[in-house]
Amino acid sequence: MTIRIISTDEAPAAIGPYSQAVEAGGFLFCSGQIPVSPETGELVIANVASATDQAIRNLAAVLEAAGLGLEDVVKTTVFLADMNEFPTMNAVYASHFGDARPARACVQAARLPKGALVEIEAIAKIR
């Protein structure tokens, strides 16, 4: 099986020994994206809405580097610092994914990298 590493400057660089995404077996496995601005390197922590928006824009940039888009995503996992923020996250998530509704799990995490409010990982089908 061929494995291809995906990397882009349009999303934050990995903050550990991992890749932004790996293509293997007809799928793209995207590492979790937190709401770090790729332009400034700063964490977006204003609120869950802006944090979710930035995390999804980062995810979209990684997908684009592989020639894909949000419409190609088949599964996501959303990690929230506070499950009480689910309705807010869900509204922003829906605005990005529209009618492309991948399978999804959402869990509350005790702590996310850099103190982020949200992290989103995804699996996409290669076209």
pLDDT at 1 over 90: no
Q: Confidence band (pLDDT; 50, 70, 90) for 64?
A: very high
Per the listing, tokens 């979710």 go with 52
- Region 70-96: what's the mean pLDDT? 98
DSSP β-ladder status, 27-33 and 118-125: antiparallel
Q: Confidence band (pLDDT; 50, 70, 90) for 102?
A: very high
pLDDT at 116 over 90: yes
- Region 34-61: what's the mean pLDDT? 95
Is residue 106 part of the annotated active site? The answer reads yes
pLDDT at 36: 97
What tokens appear for 113 in the block? 């990298």
Annotated catalytic residue within 22, 61, 106, 109: 106
Average pLDDT for the chain: 96
Q: What is the pTM of this model?
A: 0.96
In this structure, CATH architecture of domain 3-125: 2-Layer Sandwich (3.30)
